[in-house]
Amino acid sequence: MASESLPFRPEVSWLDRGEFLTRYREHLVREKGLAYPTVAGYQTVARQFLNAFVRQVDAGVSQLSAKFVTEFVIDAADHRPTGTTKHRVTALRSLLRFLYLDGRAPNLVGVVPKVAGWRGAGLPRGLPPGEFERLLQGCDVESASGRRDRAMLILVGRLGLRVGELIRLDLGDIDWRRAEVTIRGKARRDERLPLPSDVGEALAEYILHGRGGTPLGPVFIRDGDSADRPWTTKGVRSALEVACRRAGVATVRPHALRHMAATDMLRAGASLIEVGQVLRHRSLSTTAIYTKVDIEPLQALARPWPV
Catalytic residues, which ones? 162, 186, 255, 258, 281, 290
Region of 103 (left: φ > 0; alpha: ψ -120 to 50; beta: rest) is: left
The answer to whether the beta carbons of residues 215 and 170 sit under 8 Å apart is no
- Residue count of the chain: 307
Q: How far apart are CA 180 and CA 77, in angstroms?
A: 42
Distance separating alpha carbons of residues 77 and 35, to the nearest angstrom: 24
The DSSP element (H or E) to which 193 belongs, if any, is: strand 190-194
**Measuring CA to CA, which residue among 250, 263, 244, 237 is closest to residue 135?**
244
Q: Is 194 helix (H, G, I), strand (E, B) or coil?
A: strand
CA torsion angle 268 274 278 283 (round to 10): 130
Contact present, 259 and 124 (Cβ < 8 Å): yes
Instruction: For Cα atoms 97, 99, 105, give the angle at the middle one, nearest 5 degrees.
Output: 110
User: What is the rounded CA–CA span in Å between residue 127 and residue 153?
Assistant: 13
How far is Cα 49 from Cα 45, in angstroms, rounded to an integer? 6
